[in-house]
Amino acid sequence: MILADWVARPSNSFDDPQRAMLSWAISNFYWQNGYGNFSLGPSQLDQLIRYIDNQQEHHKTVSFQDEFRVLLNKYQVDFDEEHVWD
């Protein structure tokens, strides 16, 4: 199952612990036409929180597209510019 399908599927119960943990975050969540996701480990949580806190300021100097290209290249993900952006 791809991530978008997992997040979008209806949930009438909290039998799945992962869905229970994310229920608060997905109540108003939607997917744009294109997206990417990368997993992080617990040791990177503080860095992620700082990134989110500073994201608006950060994107004044580095575009989302440029930052995403860096991540794709860093993790050796093949991509086609024609299919990455909306």
Which residue, among 64, 51, 9, 58, has the nearest Cα to 31 in the 3D structure? 9
Contact 35, 12 (CB under 8 A): no
Structural domain total, the chain:
1
Domain hosting 49: range is 39-86
Residues 28-54 have pLDDT tens digits of 666 666 667 778 888 999 998 998 898
pLDDT tens digits along 20-29: 666 656 666 6
Q: What is the distance between the alpha carbons of residues 79 and 58, in angstroms, rounded to a whole number?
A: 24
User: Does 7 score more than 70 pLDDT?
Assistant: no
53-66 pLDDT, tens per residue?
A: 988 888 889 988 89
Inside any domain, residue 48: yes
Residue 5 falls within a domain, yes or no?
no
Cα dist from 23 to 2, 16, 60, 65, whole Å = 18, 11, 31, 29
Q: What is the DSSP string of 18-42?
A: HHHHHHHHHTT----SS-------G
- Domain-embedded: residue 84: yes
